[in-house]
């Protein structure tokens, strides 16, 4: 298994991206290393293997990468959660707050059956806005949010607290900054 320090060695810091003062946590080097990538999937999957999950709902775009690998590892359905305007079939959407304005994401109305147990995955947890919006859509469709998984948590922001308080589920992540 890859430990936190080892995982961090595969995450590249890109200063001043996408704007001055922001340090972007780039997982591209992690994706390029097959053993590290496999270990990340195993660590996350092991955390959820006994929770009877029916589906992984992963957030566009970087969340899709590990989300689809997790769905494969756990033998469950994969649900794409996309930016508005990208899905072709009947969909629901949820708006959420950004630092400066709002955004929205959507998923297909038939993505889950009522009572489905869903794990939400994204690459990074910051304020919790995107994951909260995904969870709200799952609940609207009658699903149960059984977990939130992330590769990276930005602990200096309040995303972990937001998700824990709002949905009663403590997020799982492998690296914290």
What is the rounded radius of gyration, in angstroms, for the C-alpha atoms of the chain? 15
How does pLDDT run across 22-33, given as a tens digit for each residue? 999 999 999 999
Q: Is pLDDT at 1 greater than 80 in this prediction? A: no
Domain residue spans of the chain = 51-176
* C-beta atoms surrounding 135 within 10 Å: 22
- The pLDDT, as a whole number, for residue 2 is 52
How does pLDDT run across 99-119, given as a tens digit for each residue? 677 899 999 999 999 999 999
Q: Is pLDDT at 3 greater than 90 in this prediction? A: no
Catalytic-role residue among 25, 37, 43, 62: 62
Q: Is pLDDT at 135 greater than 80 in this prediction? A: yes
Show the tokens assigned to 68: 């689809």
Beta strands in the chain (DSSP E): 12-15, 23-26, 55-59, 77-83, 91-98, 101-108, 117-125, 144-153, 172-176
Is 95 noted as a catalytic residue in this protein?
no
How does pLDDT run across 40-98, given as a tens digit for each residue? 999 999 999 999 999 999 999 999 999 999 999 999 999 999 999 999 999 999 999 87
Domain 51-176 grouped into CATH 1.10.357.10:
no
Asked if residue 173 lies in contact with residue 144, where contact means CB atoms within 8 angstroms, the answer is no
Instruction: Tell me the average pLDDT across 150-167.
Output: 97
- The pLDDT, as a whole number, for residue 98 is 76
- The pLDDT, as a whole number, for residue 97 is 86
Is 62 noted as a catalytic residue in this protein?
yes
Model's pTM, two decimal places? 0.94
Confidence of residue 139 (pLDDT cuts 50, 70, 90): very high
């Amino acid at each position: 298994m890859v430990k936190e320090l080892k995982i961090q060695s595969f995450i590249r810091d890109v200063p001043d991206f996408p704007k001055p003062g922001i340090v972007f946590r780039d997982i591209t080097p992690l994706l390029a290393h097959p053993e590290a990538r496999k270990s990340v999937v195993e660590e996350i999957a092991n955390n959820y293997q006994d929770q009877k999950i029916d589906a992984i709902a992963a957030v566009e775009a970087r969340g899709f990468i590990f989300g689809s690998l997790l769905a494969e590892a756990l033998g469950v359905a994969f649900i794409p959660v996309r930016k508005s305007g990208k899905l072709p079939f009947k969909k629901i959407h949820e708006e959420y707050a950004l630092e400066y304005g709002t955004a929205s994401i959507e998923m297909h109305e038939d993505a889950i059956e009522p009572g489905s147990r869903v794990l939400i995955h994204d690459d990074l947890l910051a304020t919790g806005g995107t994951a909260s919006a995904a969870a709200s859509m799952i609940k609207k469709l009658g699903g149960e949010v059984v977990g939130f998984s992330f590769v990276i948590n930005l602990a200096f922001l309040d995303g972990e607290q937001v998700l824990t308080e709002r949905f009663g589920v403590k997020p799982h992540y492998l690296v914290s900054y």
